[in-house]
């Protein structure tokens, strides 16, 4: 290919595909160059008068020089002010100023006559600045303008001095220098632009990762606390909830989730540290006492002041970080309990599946035989109505024994059915439930005709297996109705639904005699019951279903009424509380 063609294509690519600095960097460098222009114009005027005073004739500078420099000072000041105030079309302002620099320097070079090293260096600065601040095409125009003016001025000066072309070679050499300086400046500017782009991309990536990290930390179910130099510098939302610490700073109202995401909110972190030191002194001191470079793990019992009936126990892991910082991870042990319960359900399911038919087949035979014997006895009693009283007494006694056998087989069958319910629900199929809408419908379907008082103090949303939640509430409400009927002629049950921290609380209340203190530890054991007609599996199954859904079922002896509390994690927080009261009769 022709070298001229290669040069032409290279110039074309350069003109159309050059990169420029981003606007913030362009503004910064443009202000620096505008200030430099104003200082140079003042300095040039000052040096012009100083040179004239120190000369032999002590004459004033020429009118052209004074006019040019005065005009240059005025325009330099105007351009500096405009560039500082007006943020639009910055490259146009810079292009106009650089073209003005070339024209003024050419006028000064014309008044000097001979090539001047100082003016030549100023030309070099203008050319270099144009390739750094402007597009390639604009910078090339500025450079060509400087070359044309310099060569024309020297050529005109040579004609005026009887065609002496001694300085024309210096002008050509100066023009070549302009092109060399422009090329070098363009190469440096392109490298700077690429570095700026790389730095900007890295900054965006770091910012994106920081946003992702903040969101991940905020949404974590485990509490995360970072301690640096004996002070807390980070605490996520789960840490507040697991430790039951409020999100209220001393001088502000309730903080939102966005405030928690700002982990460097000093007021919020300071308030968190004060509450932690006050309500969880043992935990706070344990975190501070761990030596640098050492890790520690222990189980922490949440004190009653921090609503222990909700969270109970936490696993605490203290992990050392760099610069003597410490990472504290709080984990609610309810999830491990739920996993253990799932394993227990799976084992029980395998056991019951293998023995169900073996038990039910002979049990069905015994039940059928007892029914047949009772029918035979009934027939004998009709046929032997005229027999002696001793014979009738014996037949009646046999009938009672057969009824006892039949009733006990029915009870064993109920126990097997309860166990099979547990084995069939090995995995919870959770669904999103709005309790304010779901609970009234449930009570209408299962407890129509009973006195059930429902109070919903908020509109919580939970995730729970619908069938298992129905079984839990049916067991608890039936127990409440049964045991309250033993103590009072009018049996009724109250249901209170409200929120505590990030949990939804469902209290099942009745006015029965409650559970004796000696039975607290046995309350949720299988086959434990104080009712002769019960199987002792209702509360055990209810607790198993709760744990399979990451919930808890507790008996609250401190309550003034008999209270069984169901604690379910909320999947949506609503700060607008609304009370709903219903009486289903």
Helix (H, G, I), strand (E, B) or coil at 574: coil
DSSP state of 160: H
Q: What is the tally of structural domains in the chain?
A: 4
The residue range of the domain holding 98 is 3-203
58 and 43 in one domain? yes
Identify the pLDDT of residue 454: 92
Name the nearest CA neighbour of 452 among 581, 546, 541, 545: 581
Q: Taking the model in full, what pTM does it have?
A: 0.48
45 and 125 in one domain? yes
Rounded to whole angstroms, the Cα distance separating 201 from 155 reads 51
Render 208-245 in DSSP notation, one character per residue.
HHHHHHHHHHHH-SSEEEEEETTEEEEE-HHHHHHTT-
452 and 317 in one domain? no
Q: Which tokens belong to 399?
A: 């009938």
Residue 142 lies in a domain: yes
Q: Quick one: three-class SS letters along 411-473?
A: HHHHHHHHHHHHHHCCCCCEEEEEHHHHHHHHHHHHCCCCCEEEEECCCCEEEEEHHHHHHHH
Rounded to whole angstroms, the Cα distance separating 353 from 359 reads 11
Given the structure tokens 């509430």, which residue do they identify?
A: 473
Residue 292 lies in a domain: yes
Mean pLDDT by 10 residues, the chain (585 residues): 55 54 81 88 83 59 78 88 86 87 82 67 82 81 80 63 57 74 77 80 88 82 84 83 68 48 63 80 81 80 57 80 84 71 65 67 80 78 59 66 80 71 64 90 88 87 89 89 80 89 86 78 72 71 82 85 89 46 40
514 and 469 in one domain? yes
Return the number of other C-beta atoms located less than 10 Å from residue 21's C-beta.
Answer: 20
Identify the pLDDT of residue 375: 79
Q: Which residues, in sequence order, are CB contacts of 568 under 8 Å at separation 6+?
A: 462, 464, 503, 504, 506, 549, 550, 551
CB-based contact 182:130 (threshold 8 Å): yes
Last residue of a domain, one of 378, 405, 424: 424
Rounded to whole angstroms, the Cα distance separating 583 from 450 reads 10
Rounded to whole angstroms, the Cα distance separating 561 from 570 reads 25
Residue 439 lies in a domain: yes
Last residue of a domain, one of 300, 332, 364: 332
Residue 213 lies in a domain: no
Identify the pLDDT of residue 583: 42
Given the structure tokens 């030596």, which residue do they identify?
A: 291
Given the structure tokens 């040039």, which residue do they identify?
A: 44
- Count of residues for the chain? 585
263 and 239 in one domain? yes
Identify the pLDDT of residue 507: 92
Residue 83 lies in a domain: yes
Residue 116 lies in a domain: yes
In DSSP terms, 227 is beta-bridged to 232, 326
170 and 68 in one domain? yes
Last residue of a domain, one of 392, 409, 424: 424
3-state helix, strand, coil in the chain (%, to 5): 60, 15, 25
């Amino acid at each position: 290919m022709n070298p001229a063609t290669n040069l032409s294509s290279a110039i074309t690519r350069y003109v159309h595909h050059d990169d420029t600095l981003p606007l913030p960097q362009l503004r910064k460098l443009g202000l620096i160059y505008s200030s430099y222009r104003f200082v140079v114009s003042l300095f040039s005027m000052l040096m012009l008068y100083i040179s004239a005073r120190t000369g032999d004739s002590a004459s004033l500078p020429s009118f052209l020089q004074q006019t040019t420099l005065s005009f240059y000072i005025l325009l330099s000041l105007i351009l500096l002010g405009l560039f500082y105030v007006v943020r639009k079309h910055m490259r146009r302002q810079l292009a106009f100023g650089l073209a003005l620099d070339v024209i003024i320097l050419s006028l000064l070079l014309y008044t000097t006559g001979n090539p001047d090293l100082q003016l030549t260096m100023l030309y070099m600065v203008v050319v270099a600045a144009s390739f750094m601040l402007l597009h390639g095409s604009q910078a090339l125009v500025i450079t060509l303008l400087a070359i044309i003016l310099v060569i024309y001025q020297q050529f005109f000066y040579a004609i005026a001095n009887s065609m002496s072309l001694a300085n024309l070679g210096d002008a050509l050499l100066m023009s070549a220098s302009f092109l060399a300086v422009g090329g070098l400046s363009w190469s440096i500017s392109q490298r700077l632009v690429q570095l700026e782009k790389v730095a900007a991309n890295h900054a965006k990536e770091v910012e994106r990762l920081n946003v992702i990290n903040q969101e991940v930390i905020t949404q974590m179910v485990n509490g995360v606390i970072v301690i640096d130099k004996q002070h807390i510098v980070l605490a996520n939302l789960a840490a507040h909830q697991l430790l039951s610490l409020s999100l209220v700073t001393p001088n502000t109202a309730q903080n939102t989730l966005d405030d928690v995401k700002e982990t460097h909110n000093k007021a919020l972190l300071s308030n968190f540290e004060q509450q932690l030191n006050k309500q969880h002194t043992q935990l706070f001191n344990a975190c501070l006492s761990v030596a640098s470079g050492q890790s520690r793990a222990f189980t922490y019992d949440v004190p009653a002041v921090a609503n222990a009936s909700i969270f109970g126990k936490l696993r605490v892991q203290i992990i050392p970080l760099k610069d003597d910082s410490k990472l504290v991870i709080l984990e609610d042990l309810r999830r491990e309990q739920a996993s253990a319960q799932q394993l227990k359900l799976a084992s029980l399911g395998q056991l019951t599946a293998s023995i169900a038919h073996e038990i039910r087949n002979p049990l069905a035979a015994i039940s059928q035989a007892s029914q047949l014997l009772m029918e035979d006895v009934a027939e004998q009693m009709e046929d032997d109505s005229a027999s002696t009283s001793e014979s009738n007494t014996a037949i009646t006694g046999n009938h009672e024994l057969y009824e006892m056998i039949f009733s006990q087989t029915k009870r064993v069958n109920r126990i097997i059915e309860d166990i099979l319910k547990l084995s069939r629900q090995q995995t919870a199929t959770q669904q999103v439930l709005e309790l304010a809408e779901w609970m009234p419908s449930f009570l209408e379907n299962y407890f129509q005709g009973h006195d059930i008082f429902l109070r919903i103090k908020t509109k919580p949303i939970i995730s729970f297996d619908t069938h298992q939640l129905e079984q839990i509430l049916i067991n608890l409400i039936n127990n409440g109705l049964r045991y309250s009927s033993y103590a009072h002629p009018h049996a009724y049950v109250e249901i209170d639904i409200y929120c505590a921290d990030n949990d939804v609380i469902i209290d099942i209340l009745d006015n029965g005699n409650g559970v004796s203190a000696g039975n607290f530890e046995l309350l949720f054991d299988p086959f434990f019951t104080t009712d002769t007609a019960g199987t002792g599996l209702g509360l055990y199954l209810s607790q198993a279903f709760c744990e399979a859904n990451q919930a808890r079922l507790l008996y609250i002896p401190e309550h003034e009424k008999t209270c069984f509390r169901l604690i379910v994690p909320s999947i949506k927080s609503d700060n607008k509380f609304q009370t709903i009261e219903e009486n289903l009769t």
